[in-house]
Structure 1
Amino acid sequence: MIPAPVRRAGLVVTAALAALLTLATPAAAHGADAPDGTDYRAEVSTIAPGRPGLAARMIEAGARLELTNRTGRDVEVMGYSGEPYLRIGPGGVYENSRSPATYLNRTIAGDTQLPPEADPAAPPVWRRVSDGPSARWHDQRTLWLEPGPPPQVGADPTRQQRVRDWVVPLRAGDQTIEVRGTLDWLPPPDPYPWWVAATLGFLLIGGAGLVPAGTVPGVRALRAAGALLALGGVTTVALTVGRVLDAGAEGVGGVLLGLVGGQAWTLLTGLGAIAAGGYALARREAADFALALAGACLALFAGVTNLAVLSRSVAPVAGPATLARIAVTLALATGTGAVAAGVLRLHTAARTTRPTRPTRQTRPTHPAHPHPTLTP
């Protein structure tokens, strides 16, 4: 029979996972075509001529170009045939439904089927898509879309090298403006050391489940596993914030909206790991169950889903890619280790508390009474 605290914890976790699924489902398509990692680094070099209030940057590991216009005047982004593609200004963001770029830039592969009305020579038909000052789109001029690497990279993939310089033309009134940038190849890192670190962490934390639970070392082992799981949760929350910032979020409100709308699974997984770690540190009932369940979620939603970070040079996270690899490695190590420790401790507890079957008692044997002798 499952103990009552474990049943209650299971019900709470089930309800939390159901709420998490409800929150995450509408946002499943957010950044769906953004890479989990890449070896091509796209960067904006300059805007020439520069204008105060006009800024550009690459977001989502270089998958999208973002243009922000706070100049107080409209600025047009030109498409691949020199036609007006986007118009960004005080009235918001408008796209030209006649521009082929409107449809090609909807996916990172640029494989959208063009509708009959797409004609770069036709007069623009503007359609409002946003009321903000910023537009974000996949621009084929900033990306490498071929299935194989460039010839120079294929000849020497171990060396960082320039793939090309790129230009995205803008128009402000009768003035031409250029967003200039670069696309570079960065050799991918060796994932082997990160896998070794994750495996060692798994063995170290999982070994806590082998220490007898009813002893002082067992209590210390439980607390150590809980502390390390909480550390994995903290780094997962930081990783989640880094992904939101890399997706273009600005300000506290933008970060919160990105966390709830696009990274709900990973965020709640990290918070759950922190809570389960605190549960173990406090030696609460069902702490072993909480360790195992939170560890499984952490390993899956923060570790496995971000494995590409370990073998790609550019991670979809604001800041150095090395920090992202450390966070993913910690999620894998602490998550899988907590699962092992929790399951082992639950197994030991189940064996200890298993009721013993009563031994079968044998009836006492009595000496046979001699039959009475009849006297004549």
Structure 2
Amino acid sequence: MIPVPLRRAGVVVTAALAALLTLAAPAAAHGADAPDGTDYRAEVTALAPARPGLTVRVVEAGARLELINRTGRDVEVLGYSGEPYLRVGPSGGYENSRSPATYLNQTLAGDTNLSPDADPAATPVWHRITEGQSVRWHDQRARWLESSPPAQVSADPGRPQRIRDWVVPLRAGGETVGVRGTLDWVPPPDAYPWWVAATLGFLAVAAAGLAPAGTTTGVRALRGVGALLALGGLATVAFTIGRELDAGADGAGGVLLGLINGQVWMLLTGFGAIAAGGYALARREAADFALALAGACLAIFAGFANVAVLSRSVVPLIWPATTARVLVAIILATGAGALGAGILRLHAASRAGTRPPLDSPATPTSR
């Protein structure tokens, strides 16, 4: 018969997994087509002429451009035929439904069919898309759309190369302003050392599950795994916030709103690992089960879901790519390691015909 603590833990974990899957579904609408990593680096180099209060930057690892207009006057982004495409100003952000760019920019690949109403020569029909003073959009002028790299990159993929210079025209107060930028090929890193580090970390953490339960060594091992799992949870929270900041979130309020709208499942995974780690540190009943399940969720939903950063030179975080790789390696090692340690301890308990011990040989737990 399954002990009561294990049954309760199973109910909690099942509910948590159901919540994760439910929350993960709508996340597709929030930057779903932004890459987890790429080897093409887009950068904005200048606004010509410069306009105080007007800024443009690349976000989401090059997936989108973001324009922030604090000039107090309307600014228009021009489409691929020079037609008004976006407008942002004191009254908010608007999209021209007659612009072909409105449809071509709906996806990262730019393969959306044009509406019959699309006509770059027609009078603009504006629809509000935001009440704020910033807009974000895919722009084919700043990206490499082909599935295969350019010829010069194929000939020498190990060398950084300039693909092209690009310009996105704006219209501000009757004057044309050019957003100038560059698109470069950046050779990808070798992912092998990162996989080795994650694997060695996994083995080291999982080996703690071999320590005899109910002994001083077992107590220290349980606490050690709990602390490391909590570290993996913190790394997940940091990774999630870093990605949201790269997606254009502004300030604490913007980060929180972005997390709620699209990244809350990752955040819950991280906090769940922290909670399970604390559960193990306190040597509570069913701690082994909590370690195994939280570790599995961490490894799958936060680790393997982001392994692209290990083999891509440009990652969707505000921090350097190396920092992103370190975070993912920690998440993989601690998540998979906690899973392994929890399973080993549960297996040892089942062979002994007992429930998982509390690792407190000297003082029994009061109820």
- TM-score range, shorter-chain basis? over 0.9
Q: Partner of 1:173 in structure 2?
A: 173
Superposition pairs of residues 292-311 of structure 1, within 5 angstroms: 292-311=292-311
**How far apart are residue 74 of structure 1 and its match?**
0.8
- Residue 340 of structure 1: aligned partner: 340
1-structure distance, mates of 2:15, 2:108: 36
CA distance, structure 1, for counterparts of residue 216 and residue 127 of structure 2: 69
- For 1:28 and 1:5, the matched residues in 2 are separated by 36
Residue 161 of structure 1: aligned partner: 161
Secondary structure at the aligned position of 2:147 is classed as coil
Question: Who is 1:187 aligned against?
Answer: 187
CA distance in 1, matches of 2:28, 2:118: 29
Q: Unmatched 5+ residue regions in structure 1?
A: 356-376
Shift in Å at residue 17 of structure 1? 2.9
Give the equivalent residue in structure 1 for 2:141: 141
User: 1:89 aligned to 2:96?
Assistant: no
d(CA) in 1 for partners of 2:310 and 2:21? 27
Shift of residue 23, structure 1, vs aligned partner: 3.6
CA RMSD of aligned residues (A): 1.3
Equivalence for 1:211: 211
Question: CA offsets per residue over residues 210-244 of structure 1, 9 Å max, x none?
Answer: 11112111111111111111111111110000011
Task: Map Cα deviations across residues 224-274 of structure 1 (whole Å, 9 max, x no partner).
Answer: 111111111111110000011011101111111111211112111111111
User: Residue 61 of structure 1: SS of its match in structure 2?
Assistant: helix
Distance 2:298 2:167 in 1: 41
Q: Which residue of 1 aligns with 2:252?
A: 252
Question: Does structure 2 conserve the Cα–Cα contact (< 8 Å) formed by 1:24 and 1:261?
Answer: no
Larger Rg: 1
> 2: CA distance between counterparts of 1:82 and 1:179?
14
Task: Please list the CA deviations of residues 91-119 of structure 1 after superposition, one character each: whole Å capped at 9, or x if unmatched.
Answer: 11111111110100111111000111111
Q: Deviations over 1:267-318 (max 9, x none)?
A: 1111111111111111111110010000000000111100111000011111
Q: SS where residue 196 of structure 1 aligns?
A: helix
- In the other structure, the counterpart of 2:68 is 68
CA offsets 1:9-29 (integer angstroms, 9 cap, x no match):
121222233333444433332
The aligned counterpart of 2:239 is 239
Q: Distance in 1 between matches of 2:295 and 2:228?
A: 11
Aligned to 1:264: 264
Moved over 6 A (4+): none
Q: Distance in 2 between matches of 1:317 and 1:216?
A: 41
The residue type paired with residue 336 of structure 1 is: A
Indicate the SS of the match to 1:87: strand
Please tell me whether the aligned partners of residues 23 and 260 of structure 1 are also in contact (alpha carbons under 8 angstroms): no
Deviation string for 1:175-207 (max 9, x for gaps)? 110111111111000000011011101110111
- Aligned AA (2:302): A
CA distance in 2, matches of 1:120, 1:319: 39
TM-score (norm 2): 0.94
Deviation at 1:84, TM superposition (A): 1.0
Q: What is the Cα deviation at residue 354 of structure 1?
A: 5.2
- The answer for the alignment partner of 1:42 in structure 2 is 42
**C-alpha separation in 2, matches of 1:308 and 1:23:** 22
Matching residue of 2:131:
131
Corresponding position of 2:15: 15
In the alignment, structure 1 residue 324 sits paired with structure 2 residue 327: no
| Alignment map for 1:275-314 (pairs within 5 Å) | 275-314=275-314
Fraction of identical pairs, as percent? 75
Q: Distance in 1 between matches of 2:22 and 2:111?
A: 31
Q: Secondary structure of the residue that 1:315 maps to in structure 2? A: coil
Match of 2:364?
none
- Bigger mean CA deviation after superposition, 237-246 or 216-225: 216-225
Aligned residues: 355
Are the equivalent residues in 2 in contact too, given 1:69–1:134 (CA < 8 A)? yes
Letter of the structure 1 residue corresponding to residue 2 of structure 2: I
- SS at 2:348 equivalent: helix
Q: Distance in 1 between matches of 2:20 and 2:35?
A: 23
Structure 2: 5+ residue runs without aligned partners?
Answer: 356-367
Deviation at 1:353, TM superposition (A): 2.5
* Distance of 1:118 and 1:259 partners within structure 2: 34
Residue aligning to 1:359:
none
Q: What's the counterpart of residue 372 of structure 1?
A: none
Structure 2: how far apart are the matches of 1:127 and 1:238? 36
- 1:114 and 2:114 equivalent? yes
Whole-angstrom distance in 1 between the partners of 2:128 and 2:233: 41
**CA distance in structure 1 between the partners assigned to 2:17 and 2:237 by the alignment:** 17
Q: Helix, strand or coil: the match of 1:28?
A: helix
C-alpha separation between the residues in 1 aligned to 2:173 and 2:261? 37
CA distance in structure 1 between the aligned counterparts of 2:314 and 2:144, rounded to whole angstroms: 14
Instruction: Show the counterpart of 1:59.
Output: 59
